[in-house]
Chains A and B, each alone.
Chain A
């Protein structure tokens, strides 16, 4: 098995997340500082792209190029446009603000957005359960419905290549409790966009589960998981759709949080870390699925 060549782009010293490839470069979040950065892979520069992002975490482009973000501390799902005021997509469910929106997946019609609402930050729960929600666009209005009823603490969410399944990382912490499970799940998406039964694709047992995920061009899942504290360690996993582990790659920094493909040919992998590092790998041999 070939090891990857990891190139450190920058180390911010506090958690990076939400890597998103755009025409202008790689956008990513520095959550605790409420900053969105842009890395230009052509000239190697890093610049602040947006400030005061309320703990923005996961970000994603829709097929029309709209950028959506989960503002964890802000308890809301929003849309960003450069130098334009933030548009709020979802900020409450049944009258309560969300807990801490974390990550999102967008259906190819650009009118359905699933987002996870865990509570990692330690604030009192605003909503008594930690679930995945669906924001559905109706004319110009976004309607919010609850999508999962069996998650403990959902984190990364990702749509399958055929858009028929939603992959959900159920990744509670509570690492001192051996009975708590951390699973990568695959939920069936029904014709009305509600979610059906899930299958467990991979069980991380007592170790840290999946944080962020992205698809490769074959529809396989590239996922960040693990930590130094226990188990096989911090790792990028490469899963087939049925959960078979094709490969695993140790990461050079602890606590990998998310990853995405970028570059003109979608063949660079960018990985963010809890340590604040941002790495790129140009020799994975994989390509991203451009939508």
Chain B
């Protein structure tokens, strides 16, 4: 059994986007528009950055530059060291993004992110929810391109170790839509091929966030208190085989990453607002940075 140590109590405000900086864990408190920093030595949690417009997913590129998906800001941004912000993407095909949720960055520095039409509070300009890629053009400006044409609510996304596969959580809450872990081949021209279903969650809550372990397996947060086997961390191999499952002490885990000097400490965020640490998972992480 894994031991979940609570580092931050639930307060009703979703925590997300956990990333390891090399010395700390950053996580997001989107409702308060904040990025928080958990100091692994002192155990303190403090505000790292304010005014982030509903930041949700975070990720580093291989140079250690920090990117985030701002749901309320309807954009993907780069957080500069001087606390300024550069916009990476706020439109695709000439229309405003709906609500970027999570991101994955390839070795070429292209930013792949999930964009979802929220169920409430917005008149979207787009009529689809898809994976979007932001790539720098020759002039150094990011251009966006729609990459999936078969998602209705993409959430977590993750590259395989060899970057030849993009894992996508298609996690629609609507009963008539699907909740699946999919693997899309990344083709030589940079587009995505036809996906395979690695796992189907049926009527139950699908995957929110994912990270890789050192073996290239997929660590995923999913499930809920309402139905099915419950809130859970799954470990999938590349073909979708379930290698293990571990119940979580929260109702809806949102995301997961590894940190610590040896990348062997797991950090888990939740819809209720927790931050948990697991030191005895027996797993190690595999991160693009550091």
In the complex the two chains form, what is the Cα distance from A248 to B241 in whole Å? 7
In the complex the two chains form, what is the Cα distance from A201 to B199 in whole Å? 13
Residues of A within 8 A of B241 (CB): 232-233, 235, 248, 250
Residues of B within 8 A of A243 (CB): 228-229
Sorting the interface of chain B by its residue count into under 10, 10 to 19, 20 to 34 or 35 or more gives 20 to 34
A1, A206, A247: the one contacting B200 at CB < 8 Å is A206
**Contact between A207 and B197, CB atoms less than 8 A apart:** yes
**Contact between B239 and A206, CB atoms less than 8 A apart:** no
* Max count, chain B CB within 10 A of own CB: residue among A199, A205, A250: A205
In the complex the two chains form, what is the Cα distance from A200 to B203 in whole Å? 7
Residues of B within 8 A of A206 (CB): 197, 200
The yes or no answer to A202 lying at the interface (CB within 8 A) is yes
Instruction: Give per-residue flags for A5-21: 1 if the beta carbon is below 8 A from chain B beta carbons, else 0.
Output: 00000000000000000
The yes or no answer to A145 lying at the interface (CB within 8 A) is no
Residues of B within 8 A of A48 (CB): none
Sorting the interface of chain A by its residue count into under 10, 10 to 19, 20 to 34 or 35 or more gives 20 to 34
The yes or no answer to B79 lying at the interface (CB within 8 A) is no
**Contact between B229 and A231, CB atoms less than 8 A apart:** no
Residues of A within 8 A of B201 (CB): 203
Residues of B within 8 A of A244 (CB): 229-230, 232, 245, 247
In the complex the two chains form, what is the Cα distance from A181 to B203 in whole Å? 11
**Contact between A205 and B239, CB atoms less than 8 A apart:** no
The yes or no answer to B73 lying at the interface (CB within 8 A) is no
In the complex the two chains form, what is the Cα distance from A240 to B230 in whole Å? 12
Write the nearest CB–CB distance from A150 to chain B, whole angstroms: 13
Write the nearest CB–CB distance from B182 to chain A, whole angstroms: 10
In the complex the two chains form, what is the Cα distance from A48 to B103 in whole Å? 60
The yes or no answer to B85 lying at the interface (CB within 8 A) is no
Q: Which residues of chain B (197-252) have a CB below 8 Å from chain A?
A: 197-204, 227-230, 232, 234, 237, 239-245, 247
**Contact between B196 and A230, CB atoms less than 8 A apart:** yes
Residues of A within 8 A of B243 (CB): 1, 248
The yes or no answer to B264 lying at the interface (CB within 8 A) is no
The yes or no answer to A183 lying at the interface (CB within 8 A) is yes
Write the nearest CB–CB distance from A218 to chain B, whole angstroms: 15
In the complex the two chains form, what is the Cα distance from A244 to B242 in whole Å? 10
B232, B240, B244: the one contacting A247 at CB < 8 Å is B244
Write the nearest CB–CB distance from A21 to chain B, whole angstroms: 28
The yes or no answer to A242 lying at the interface (CB within 8 A) is yes
A1, A233, A242, A248: the one contacting B229 at CB < 8 Å is A242
In the complex the two chains form, what is the Cα distance from A204 to B242 in whole Å? 12
Residues of A within 8 A of B16 (CB): none
**Contact between B202 and A202, CB atoms less than 8 A apart:** yes
The yes or no answer to B180 lying at the interface (CB within 8 A) is yes
Q: Which residues of chain A (228-263) have a CB below 8 Å from chain B?
A: 230-233, 235, 237, 240, 242-248, 250
Residues of A within 8 A of B247 (CB): 244
Residue of A nearest to B246 (CB): A244
Residues of A within 8 A of B240 (CB): 231-232
Residues of A within 8 A of B197 (CB): 205-207, 231
Beyond A205-B180, A231-B197, A235-B241, 17 additional pairs, beta carbon < 8 A: A1-B243, A181-B202, A183-B202, A199-B227, A200-B204, A201-B228, A201-B229, A203-B200, A206-B197, A230-B196, A232-B240, A237-B242, A242-B228, A242-B230, A244-B229, A244-B230, A247-B244
Q: Which residues does B use to contact A, with CB under 8 Å?
A: 180, 196-204, 227-230, 232, 234, 237, 239-245, 247
